[in-house]
Amino acid sequence: MADRKKSGSKKMWGGRFAEATAASVEAFTASIHYDSRLYRYDIAGSKAHAQMLADNGILSREELQDIISGLTAIESEIEAGTFTFRQDLEDIHMNIEKALVDRIGPAGAKLHSARSRNDQIALDLRLYLRDECDRLGGLLHGVRRAFVVLARSYLGAVMPGYTHMQRAQPVLVSHHLLAYYEMFGRDGERLQDCRKRINSSPLGSAALAGTGLPIDREQVAAQLGFDSVTANSMDSAGDRDFAIEFVSCCALIQLHLSRLCEELVLWSGSEFDFVEISDTFCTGSSIMPQKKNPDIPELIRGKSGRVVGSLMALLTLVKGLPLTYNRDLQEDKEPVFDAVDTVSASLAIMAELLGNLQFKTTRMREATATGFITATDLADYLVLKDVPFREAHGIVGNIVGLCLERGCELMELGLADMQRFSRVIEKDVFEVLSVDGSVESRISTGGTSSLRVEEALGAAEKLMGIA
């Protein structure tokens, strides 16, 4: 060994190397500048691992004590901001392990028995994502709650419902709002479902093949709150589909936010003029003094590109990777973290923004007055009078044609005008043609009548813990 000249820092894996790593390589391969975020999980995993090693005779009780108190001290230093992360130590695992060895000596060097960084990073990421599923669930809850509060305060207000961005049928504003409550509810369920697959411990898979040392994977799993241990060591070392699934949940959340934001941008503009976003949640233009811009919804909409991009990055990352661990997998973390940060920030600000909205209900109702918005109701009216729906559709189409010719709305036609197209039309038709009549008629399950919306709102308030 004496003739082998090494410079630079000594690597924990450096035994077989004669020369020091090039500085450029250290800089290129390091992940500590982003994976330091995982320190808490890395330490929790190491503590559980050490406990199990001691229970199985690989560590003495004193060694275990030293390791536990050493790790606790390191955690406090990191939390206090006094810990120095070193790029030459590559990643969070080796930064903490090195600090432990420096602090407690040889006992620290025993910690990595029966473990590899391959199962260690898989463990850390699973612990981290499990927490993030719960945290994002809380943020989703906040957004859903805000929708329910809005739906309650605007109950009774009507607006046009749209298909193809054309006025289609009148709906309750609350019905529209509760549509988002449902969307974000599914997002929450998806995260909880994803969490089930995250919540299985890969530790003990070691590098890829398991270990011959006497370990107890189930014990570690139980201590860390996992539901199970993963079944196949090779799969566990190379699998990242739990992370991909998680980011795909994030992408859907961000897309749902983006659809909402698109509506807020449109609705706050003068073309729609349906909603007023409070001054505190808008910004002005540096050149046009009259402007009040909906920057928050625009930015959230814009950020959907980042989250979808993160998902694409992860999908592409695992495409073509042979089993088991490959260093490529280190590239999983930045997209995961960026997706978490983007979705978290977007959900948090959206919950606040929803509390700073005012709907212009008069404007919304006015918008239902044009566009033959109750034409379907007229067709349904004919169906109830035994006219086959296709025929009814044709009749109403012709009536709308007459309106277009005259430049009037359905309501403005006389009874005689309509009777020219169908003899079954009677005076009671005008009730059907009214916006409120239309809304209130839609009593099918999940429909927009106040009866159904009240029910949905009541159930939502119960679930959201609103009295």
Under rule CB under 6 A, residue 449 binds ligand ARG: no
> Quick check: is 164 catalytic?
yes
Site for ligand ARG in 85-104 (CB under 6 A): 91
Residue type at position 239: D
Nearest distance in Å: CB 33, ligand ARG? 12
Inter-residue contact 129 to 249 (CB < 8 Å): no
Based on CB atoms, which residue is closest to ligand ARG, 50 or 92? 92
DSSP state of 57: T
Give the active site residue among 60, 228, 278, 285.
285
Site string for ligand ARG, 17-46 (x = CB under 6 A): --------------x---x-----------
For the chain, counts of helices (H) and of strands (E): 20, 6
Site string for ligand ARG, 100-129 (x = CB under 6 A): -----------------xx--x--------
Residue type at position 334: E
> Quick check: is 256 catalytic?
no
Q: Which stretch binds ligand ARG (CB under 6 A): 322-330, 406-414, 431-439, 454-462?
A: 322-330
Task: Please report how many Cα atoms fall inside a 13 Å half-sphere around the Cα of residue 172, on the Cβ side.
Answer: 29
Based on CB atoms, which residue is closest to ligand ARG, 326 or 344? 326
Nearest distance in Å: CB 242, ligand ARG? 14
Inter-residue contact 71 to 96 (CB < 8 Å): yes
Count the neighbouring beta carbons within 10 Å of the beta carbon of residue 108: 22
d(CA 239, CA 406): 66
Question: With contacts defined by CB under 6 A, how many residues of the chain interact with ligand ARG?
Answer: 10
Q: Is 159 helix (H, G, I), strand (E, B) or coil?
A: strand
Based on CB atoms, which residue is closest to ligand ARG, 98 or 117? 117
Nearest distance in Å: CB 236, ligand ARG? 13
Site for ligand ARG in 327-356 (CB under 6 A): 327, 329-330
Q: Is 349 helix (H, G, I), strand (E, B) or coil?
A: helix
d(CA 122, CA 108): 21
Based on CB atoms, which residue is closest to ligand ARG, 313 or 410? 313
d(CA 216, CA 204): 8
Nearest distance in Å: CB 10, ligand ARG? 17
- What are 167's two structure tokens? 């006025």
Nearest distance in Å: CB 327, ligand ARG? 6
**129-163 core/surface letters (b: 16 or more CB in 10 A; e: else):** bbebbeebeebbbbbbbbbbbbbbebbebbbbbee
- What are 54's two structure tokens? 């001691």
Give the active site residue among 164, 270, 286, 444.
164
Q: Using alpha carbons, select from 320, 317, 311, 323 the residue that is nearest to residue 118.
A: 323
Based on CB atoms, which residue is closest to ligand ARG, 34 or 430? 34
| List of residues contacting ligand ARG (CB under 6 A) | 31, 35, 91, 117-118, 121, 325, 327, 329-330
Q: List, by residue number, the catalytic residues.
A: 164, 285
